[in-house]
Amino acid sequence: MAAPSTKILSQKLSAIAETWVKDPFRPNLQLQTFLKSLAAHPRLTPKAVEATRALRDDVMHKKYPLSARMLRPATSPLHYERLLEGFQKSAQGIGRPWWKVFFGIW
């Protein structure tokens, strides 16, 4: 069986790039832009397209799910929840007050 042509691979990678989520924290630096420029590369391989699709579809997270023990470490059980909350509030433009930062209060 012949390998897919570069044109077909380019179309597949461009389609993946179109569905990629935009990064609200770096509006001037988007992975989508990089993937579109990579689609034009003359030596694009099927492995690169498949790896990009796997990243977009979160294949490894589904194949190897993290345990509750891993997500809630004994030393700081709320660490990842606070980190996620911080990202979500930051994306909305909500910052922590200076006194919470100073006293280490969440």
* Model pLDDT for residues 60-98, shown as the tens digit of each residue: 999 999 999 998 999 999 999 999 998 899 888 888 888
Question: Are the C-beta atoms of 10 and 40 separated by less than 8 Å?
Answer: yes
Phi, then psi, of 8 in degrees rounded to 5:
-65, -45
Place of tokens 């911080």: 86
pTM: 0.74
Question: Are the C-beta atoms of 31 and 23 separated by less than 8 Å?
Answer: yes
CA gap 24, 90 in Å, rounded: 9
**Average pLDDT across the chain, whole number:** 90
Give the number of other CB atoms < 10 A from CB of residue 10.
19
Best CA proximity match to 46, nearest among 106, 3, 75? 3
DSSP state of 28: T
DSSP state of 21: P
